[in-house]
């Protein structure tokens, strides 16, 4: 197994940008790739905001900013994929899109490169079928949690053919960027999202039944359960459209207990997707 020094992150949205940021902060060279160079360059703008926030809060020295940004290379080129040691894919939660990306990367990357998908709910074994049989031992799940620059946890999920060597390399890679990895079996939704969405289902019911307001449910979870953020505020942060996608995957896998609630479907139909559009359960 190759030493992990050079990393490629596929997808320059907030999730991909924050994953790339964490690797660069740990001193790793990172290529961040998207469909166009302009989209990839947007990641540097987002990363600057993360760095400035850390500096303003006194968590980072100002001189770290340039050092981190220098390690990140925006790209839309196949050539930049040929020598990386690890690829982390962080695109939309769309199985066919992910498979298409991995099939393309399979033909570009060196044989010993590790492939890690940041899917939050799609089985790793199924995604691994998009690469050749010789590569599947090096295909693993690495589910980072948003915001990645703050959240320590990473679920490392092994598919049916993932080798122990690959799993351990990914665990060690997470530790190297100051994350705490846990090993999880390859099932739809993995571990944390099954717990989280089961709780959210009850939050939707409380709202539908008029038991409590959104604000009071959030306050109750923060002050009564010790959560750092209320469930509805967290839904807005992660995006209601993504949450609906995940719940549909969980519903197909586990049945009625994860059936998406009408109140969530209505929010998505109204394009009340959360912070990214300025309106979700709250207005921003």
By the 10 Å C-beta count (0-12 exposed, 13-18 middle, 19+ buried), 136 is classed as buried
112 is catalytic: no
3-state DSSP assignment of residue 227: coil
State the residue for tokens 């409380």: 206
Q: Is the peptide bond before 189 cis (omega within 30 degrees of 0)?
A: no
Identified catalytic residue from 75, 118, 193, 240: 193
Rounded Cα gap, residues 65 and 70, in angstroms: 9
143 is catalytic: yes
Identified catalytic residue from 143, 241, 243, 272: 143
Q: Could you tell me how far CA 33 lies from the centroid of its own chain? A: 15
Are the beta carbons of 43 and 32 closer than 8 angstroms?
Answer: yes
Q: Could you tell me how far CA 242 lies from the centroid of its own chain? A: 11
3-state DSSP assignment of residue 230: coil
Rounded Cα gap, residues 97 and 115, in angstroms: 15
State the residue for tokens 């596929």: 10
Tell me which residue of 46, 77, 67, 93 sits closest to 241, measured CA to CA: 93
Identified catalytic residue from 18, 89, 93, 155: 155
Rounded Cα gap, residues 61 and 54, in angstroms: 8
Identified catalytic residue from 75, 120, 130, 240: 120
Q: Any idea which residues carry the catalytic annotation?
A: 120, 143, 155, 193
């Amino acid at each position: 197994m190759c030493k992990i020094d050079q990393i490629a992150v596929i997808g320059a949205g907030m999730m991909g940008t924050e994953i790339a940021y964490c690797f660069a902060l740990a001193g790793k060279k990172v290529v961040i790739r998207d469909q166009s160079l302009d989209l990839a360059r947007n990641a540097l703008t987002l990363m600057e905001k993360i760095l400035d926030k850390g500096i303003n809060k006194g968590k980072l020295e100002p001189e770290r900013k340039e050092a981190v940004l220098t390690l990140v290379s925006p790209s839309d080129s196949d050539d930049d994929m040929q020598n990386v040691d690890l690829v982390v894919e962080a695109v939309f939660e769309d199985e066919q899109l992910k498979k298409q990306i991995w099939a393309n990367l399979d033909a570009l990357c060196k044989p010993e490169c590790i492939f890690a998908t940041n899917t939050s709910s799609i089985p790793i074994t199924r995604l691994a079928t998009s690469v050749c049989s010789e590569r599947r031992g090096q295909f693993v799940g690495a589910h980072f949690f948003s915001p990645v620059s703050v959240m320590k946890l990473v679920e490392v999920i092994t598919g049916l053919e993932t080798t122990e060597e690959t799993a351990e390399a990914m665990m060690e890679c997470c530790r190297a960027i100051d994350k705490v990895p846990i090993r999880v079996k390859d099932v739809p939704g993995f571990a944390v999202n099954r717990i989280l969405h089961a709780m959210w289902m009850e939050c939707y019911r409380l709202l539908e039944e008029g038991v409590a307001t959104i604000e009071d449910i959030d306050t109750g979870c923060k002050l009564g359960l010790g959560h750092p953020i209320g469930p509805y505020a967290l839904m807005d942060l992660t995006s209601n459209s993504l949450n609906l996608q995940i719940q549909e995957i969980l519903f197909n896998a586990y049945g009625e207990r994860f059936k998406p609630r009408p109140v969530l479907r209505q929010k998505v139909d109204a394009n009340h997707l959360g912070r990214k559009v300025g309106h979700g359960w709250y207005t921003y």
